[in-house]
C-alpha cells in the first residue's frame, strides 16, 4: 500500500492522522528563536493563542529540502510509493522543497516513486484533499489513480474563511493597519477565499460576526454546485483558531442543510500565526473557487 504524507498546514487532528495512517512533515512555528511547534513539538492550540493574546509574536519557517530528505530516508523502506500533498505554493515554498528532495531521493533509490501534489490551498483545503486521498486509498484505488484525482481536484477543494479580529490579519500581513482600524470601528468582518493560484484573497466585507459566520454556509451552498452529493456522502470540514462556540454555531448551520459527517478541528500554530484565534473556516468540494 502506498504512503500518504501531508504537513501541518493541513490542520488535520493528530488522532485523525494516526488512525488513518497518514504521515506528517512539519513547518515550524518559532518564538524568540525557539521552535514552539513543529516536529516532535506539538503546542496545543488554546495554549498557543493564549500566548499570542498576551503579546507573543511568533513567526513560521517552511520545510526545507534537507528536512524532507531526512523524512524520506527514514521511511524509504516503508513502501515503494509515496504521495505528498502539501501547503499551497502560493503561501509557502514547502512544496518546492519537498519536490527537490523527492527528485534527489528517486535518483538515489530508482525503484521508489514519490509524487508531490501542490494543494494550492492551506488549512482545510489541503486537509480535504488529504482526506479524499485516504478515502480513495482505503477503497482500493491505485497510487496512480489517487495521484490523478488529487491533481484534478486540488482547485475543487474550496475554503470559506472569516475572522473577527482584523488586527490578527494585520499582524499576519494580510491587511494594512489603517484598514484594520477603520474596519474594526465599522464592525467589518472580512470574508476570504483561497484563489486558483493558492493565495488568500479578501472578496467580501460583512457587518457583524453572526452575519459573517452565516455567510460561510451561504458561500458553500452557492459554490458546491455539482459536488454537493459528494459533500453529503463524505465530509464537510470546519476549522477554528480558538473559538469553539463559533465553530459549533457554524456546524449547526451546516447540519441544518442535511450534512451529517462534519469534522471540526483547530487551526494550529502554523496557520494561526497569520490569522489569529478568531479564524473560522469551512472546507468543502465545489465547482469553482471564484
For residue range 100-128, what is the model confidence (pLDDT) as tens digits? 999 999 999 999 999 999 999 999 999 99
Q: What are phi and psi of 213, to 5 degrees?
A: -70, -45
For 9-35, write each residue's pLDDT tens digit: 999 999 999 999 999 999 999 999 999
The whole-angstrom distance between residue 225's C-alpha and the CA centroid of its chain comes to: 22
Cβ atoms of 189 and 208 closer than 8 Å: yes
* Phi, psi for residue 9 in degrees, rounded to 5: -70, -15
Task: Enumerate the CATH 3.40.50.10170 domain ranges in the chain, comma separated.
Answer: 3-154
Q: Could you give the residue range(s) of every CATH 3.30.1180.10 domain in the chain?
A: 157-285
Relative to beta strand 3-7, strand 22-25 is: parallel
- Summarize the confidence of residues 161-167 as an average pLDDT: 80
DSSP string computed for the chain: -PEEEEEGGG---HHHHHHTTEEEE--EEEETTEEEEBTTB---HHHHHHHHHTT---EEEPPPHHHHHHHHHHHTTT-SEEEEEE--TTT-SHHHHHHHHHHHHHHHSTT-EEEEEE-S--THHHHHHHHHHHHHHHTT--HHHHHHHHHHHGGGEEEEEE-S-HHHHHHTTSS-HHHHHHHHHTTEEEEEEE-TTS-EEEEEEEESHHHHHHHHHHHHHHH-GGGHHHHHHS-EEEEESS-HHHHHHHHHHHHHTT---EEEEE--HHHHHHH-TT-EEEEEE-S---
pLDDT score recorded for residue 167: 60
Question: Which grid cell is 118?
Answer: 501542490
Would you state the pLDDT for residue 274?
86
pTM: 0.93
pLDDT at 50: 93
Q: Indicate the CATH number of 157-285 among 3.50.50.60, 3.40.50.300, 3.90.1170.30, 3.30.1180.10.
A: 3.30.1180.10
Q: What pLDDT sits at residue 53?
A: 87
Is the pLDDT at 178 greater than 50? The verdict is no
* Architecture of the domain whose range is 3-154: 3-Layer(aba) Sandwich (3.40)
CA-CA-CA-CA torsion sign (272, 278, 284, 290): negative
Mean pLDDT of 178-192: 60
Higher pLDDT, 96 or 204: 96
State how far the Cα of 212 lies from the Cα of 200, in Å rounded to an integer: 17
Amino acid at each position: 500500500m502506498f504512503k500518504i504524507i501531508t504537513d501541518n498546514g493541513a490542520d488535520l487532528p493528530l488522532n485523525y492522522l494516526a488512525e488513518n495512517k497518514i504521515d506528517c512533515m512539519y513547518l515550524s512555528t518559532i518564538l524568540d528563536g525557539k521552535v514552539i511547534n513543529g516536529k516532535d513539538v506539538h503546542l496545543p492550540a488554546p495554549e498557543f493563542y493564549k500566548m499570542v493574546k498576551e503579546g507573543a509574536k511568533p513567526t513560521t519557517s517552511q520545510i526545507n529540502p534537507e528536512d524532507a530528505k531526512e523524512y524520506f530516508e527514514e521511511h524509504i523502506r516503508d513502501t515503494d510509493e509515496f504521495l505528498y500533498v502539501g501547503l499551497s505554493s502560493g503561501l509557502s515554498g514547502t512544496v518546492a522543497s519537498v519536490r527537490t528532495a523527492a527528485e534527489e531521493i528517486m535518483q538515489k533509490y530508482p525503484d521508489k516513486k514519490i509524487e508531490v501534489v501542490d494543494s494550492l490551498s492551506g488549512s482545510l483545503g489541503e486537509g480535504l484533499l488529504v482526506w479524499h486521498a485516504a478515502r480513495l486509498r482505503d477503497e482500493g484505488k491505485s497510487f496512480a489513480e489517487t495521484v490523478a484525482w488529487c491533481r484534478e481536484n486540488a482547485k475543487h477543494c474550496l475554503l470559506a474563511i472569516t475572522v473577527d479580529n482584523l488586527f490578527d490579519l494585520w499582524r499576519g500581513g494580510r491587511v494594512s493597519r489603517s484598514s484594520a482600524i477603520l474596519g474594526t470601528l465599522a464592525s467589518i468582518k472580512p470574508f476570504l477565499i483561497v484563489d486558483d493560484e493558492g493565495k488568500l484573497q479578501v472578496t467580501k466585507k460583512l457587518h457583524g460576526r453572526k452575519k459573517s459566520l452565516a455567510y460561510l454556509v451561504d458561500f458553500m451552498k452557492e459554490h458546491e454546485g455539482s459536488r454537493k452529493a459528494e459533500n453529503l456522502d463524505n465530509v464537510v470540514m470546519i476549522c477554528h483558531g480558538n473559538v469553539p462556540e463559533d465553530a459549533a454555531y457554524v456546524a449547526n448551520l451546516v447540519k441544518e442543510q442535511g450534512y451529517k459527517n462534519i469534522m471540526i478541528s483547530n487551526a494550529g500554530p502554523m496557520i494561526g500565526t497569520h490569522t489569529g484565534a478568531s479564524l473560522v473556516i469551512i472546507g468543502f468540494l465545489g465547482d469553482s473557487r471564484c
